[in-house]
């Protein structure tokens, strides 16, 4: 050491060299620390966030297939093709309406916390496309430009994609509840307004920056209320205006059983929904750029699965006392109800609470199926119990994990419920007074497939003659 000091004292250039050498050494030593301590760089984070939106969003789109199967297997055969048409139609309308106007109404600069600034055809300017085209020419600059331009840490259109598939989910809920009697064109017009205006307004209150419920602290992670109850309230309004199917509630007070016409297809639909829900809830973490996001997303998927599993078992168990038998259809709806229930807070509840929340959702759903029959509301697939009853429960259950205060959750549930129900009710009334909301009695008896579409779902199969009931 003494020698080193002397060496450095008299050999200043050497001292510089030595300092440089030490610098190199430091650099070398620091290398792993630098790279490993910093976490994903801005661009890596951007890619993670974007890819998560796209992958999970694709699974949410898949839920539309799930609803289609659930519904087309649940209705009587004579209306199954119409349900297929309504579902592929509603997904198409929802996607176009949200593009043309809905997204801006939801996420445009908030006007007083009530609605986003209207705008036409979101993202349709060529700016972002130009950025992509620029890739070849000036990659370095373009990278900075795109990350800057896209600001939020993910590709703008990946978020748009994810939001768009959510709208479709809301719309899907309505078609099942009103199956077998609502007119095709009236239904499509309702869906157009629902996805272009009603749902976006609810979203503008809750998920948009500056929304009044958002400011109040209303908490609904992936949309127990915002997506599912909204669909449920819209469906309930339709049920009231359109009325029950012919013969569903007999003059003598008994209820006609209308079991699913194809239980395999219903079961497939529920499995599709269950899978899609991993995208629905997992993607709602809205980010995957940090270890915390990854941990949260994992917790979300586990809780989602536990909630659904508990919903199934609880619904099966209570179906015997409530419905008189171990009921597969109730069990399948229990999965949906469990999923809806856990959707409001899968990121923050302990796993055992996820089980409880899902189980309560399943019980509420089976009770709700019975209740709807008692009050003579004809909901073909049980959409209101599974999506609205369970959705309200799930939104309130956020309080269990301390994720929100009870009265704010209640304000959210009630204000959204009132808004969606009243606007939907008015709209259904308007449609009923103009186009007519309901098919003619003869079309309903014949079935919408033959009566409205001029086709049959299974034209080569011999079907049981339908027994005319005392309706």
Positions in 35-64 near a second copy (CB under 8 A): 35-44, 46-48, 50-55, 57-59, 61-62, 64
Helix (H, G, I), strand (E, B) or coil at 255: strand
Q: How far apart are CA 230 and CA 235, in angstroms?
A: 9
Neighbouring C-alpha atoms within 13 Å toward the C-beta of 301: 12
Q: Is 247 in the site for a second copy (CB under 8 A)?
A: no
Q: Is 441 in the site for a second copy (CB under 8 A)?
A: no
Q: Is 128 in the site for a second copy (CB under 8 A)?
A: yes
| Shortest distance (Å) from residue 382 CB to a second copy | 15
Q: Is 263 in the site for a second copy (CB under 8 A)?
A: yes
Q: Is 220 in the site for a second copy (CB under 8 A)?
A: no
Q: Is 462 in the site for a second copy (CB under 8 A)?
A: yes
3-state SS of 261-290 is: CCHHHHHHHHHHHHHHHHHHHHHHHCCCCC
| Shortest distance (Å) from residue 389 CB to a second copy | 20
CA 291 to the chain's CA centroid: 25
Binding test (CB under 8 A) with a second copy, winner from 70, 194, 236, 299: 299
Q: CB 441: neighbour CB atoms within 10 A? A: 11
Binding test (CB under 8 A) with a second copy, winner from 104, 224, 229, 305: 305
Q: What CA–CA distances, in Å, run from 314 to 73, 322, 361, 365, 380? A: 23, 12, 9, 10, 21
Contacts with a second copy in 175-204 (CB under 8 A)? 184
Contacts with a second copy in 58-97 (CB under 8 A)? 58-59, 61-62, 64-65, 68-69, 72-73, 76-77, 80-81, 84-85, 87-89, 91-93, 95-96
Nearest to 384 by CA among 413, 359, 364: 364
Cβ–Cβ under 8 Å, residues 62 and 272: yes
| Shortest distance (Å) from residue 174 CB to a second copy | 18
Cβ neighbourhood burial of 459 (10 Å; 0-12, 13-18, 19+) = exposed
| Shortest distance (Å) from residue 202 CB to a second copy | 22
Q: Is 295 in the site for a second copy (CB under 8 A)?
A: yes
Contacts with a second copy in 374-433 (CB under 8 A)? 401
Q: By C-beta, is 114 or 254 nearer to a second copy?
A: 254
Q: By C-beta, is 91 or 421 nearer to a second copy?
A: 91
Q: How far apart are CA 426 and CA 74, in angstroms?
A: 28
Neighbouring C-alpha atoms within 13 Å toward the C-beta of 321: 6
DSSP category for residue 384: I
The contact mask relative to a second copy for 334-373 (x = CB under 8 A, - = no) is -x-----------xxxxxx--x------------------
Overall residue count recorded for the chain in this entry: 471
Q: Is 22 in the site for a second copy (CB under 8 A)?
A: yes
Q: Under 8 Å CB-to-CB from 366, ≥6 apart: which residues?
A: 315, 318, 319, 322, 323, 327, 330, 333, 334, 385
Q: By C-beta, is 96 or 377 nearer to a second copy?
A: 96
Q: Is 218 in the site for a second copy (CB under 8 A)?
A: no
Alpha helices in 151-209 (DSSP H): 156-177, 184-193, 199-206
Binding test (CB under 8 A) with a second copy, winner from 240, 246, 255, 268: 268
| Shortest distance (Å) from residue 105 CB to a second copy | 17
Q: By C-beta, is 297 or 381 nearer to a second copy?
A: 297
Where does this chain touch a second copy (CB under 8 A) — which range of 32-40, 106-114, 365-373, 388-396? 32-40
């Amino acid at each position: 050491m003494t020698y080193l000091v002397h060496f450095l004292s008299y050999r200043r250039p050497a001292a510089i060299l030595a300092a440089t050498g030490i610098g190199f050494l430091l650099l070398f030593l620091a290398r792993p620390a630098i790279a490993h301590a910093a976490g994903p760089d801005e661009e890596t984070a951007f890619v993670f966030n974007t890819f998560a939106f796209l992958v999970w969003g694709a699974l949410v789109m898949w839920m539309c297939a799930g609803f289609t199967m659930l519904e087309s297997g649940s209705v009587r055969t004579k209306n199954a093709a119409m349900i297929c048409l309504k579902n592929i139609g509603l997904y198409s309308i929802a996607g176009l309406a949200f593009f043309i106007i809905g997204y801006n109404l939801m996420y445009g600069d908030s006007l007083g916390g009530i609605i986003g600034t209207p705008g036409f055809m979101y993202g349709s300017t060529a700016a972002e496309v130009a950025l992509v085209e620029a890739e070849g020419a000036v990659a370095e600059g373009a990278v900075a430009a795109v990350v800057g331009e896209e600001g939020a840490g993910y590709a703008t259109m990946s978020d748009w994609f994810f939001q768009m598939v959510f709208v479709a989910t809301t719309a899907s809920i309505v078609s099942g509840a009103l199956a077998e009697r609502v007119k095709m064109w009236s239904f499509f017009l309702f869906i157009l307004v629902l996805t272009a205006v009603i749902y976006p307004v609810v979203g503008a209150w809750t998920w948009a920056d500056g929304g009044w419920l958002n400011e109040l602290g209303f908490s609904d992670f992936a949309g127990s209320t915002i997506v599912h109850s909204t669909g449920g309230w819209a469906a309930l309004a339709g049920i009231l205006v359109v009325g029950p199917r012919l013969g569903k509630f007999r003059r003598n007070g008994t209820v006609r059983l209308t079991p699913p016409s194809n239980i395999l297809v219903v079961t497939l639909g529920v499995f599709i929904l269950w899978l899609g829900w991993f995208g629905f809830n997992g993607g709602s973490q809205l980010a995957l750029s940090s270890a915390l996001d990854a941990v949260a997303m994992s917790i979300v998927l586990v809780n989602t699965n536990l909630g659904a599993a508990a919903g199934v078992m609880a619904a099966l168990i209570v179906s015997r006392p409530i419905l008189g038998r171990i009921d597969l259809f109730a069990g399948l709806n229990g999965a949906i109800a469990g999923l809806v229930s856990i959707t409001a807070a899968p990121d923050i509840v302990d796993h055992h609470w996820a089980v409880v929340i899902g189980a309560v959702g399943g019980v509420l759903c089976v009770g709700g199926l019975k209740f709807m029959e008692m009050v003579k509301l004809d909901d073909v697939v049980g959409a209101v119990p599974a999506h609205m009853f369970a959705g309200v429960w799930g939104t309130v259950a956020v309080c269990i994990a301390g994720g929100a205060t009870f009265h704010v959750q209640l304000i959210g549930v009630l204000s959204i419920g009132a808004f969606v129900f009243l606007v939907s009710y008015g709209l259904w009334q308007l449609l009923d007074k103009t186009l007519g909301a309901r098919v003619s009695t003869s079309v309903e008896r014949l079935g919408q497939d033959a009566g409205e579409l001029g086709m049959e779902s299974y034209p080569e199969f011999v079907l049981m003659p339908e027994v005319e009931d005392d309706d």
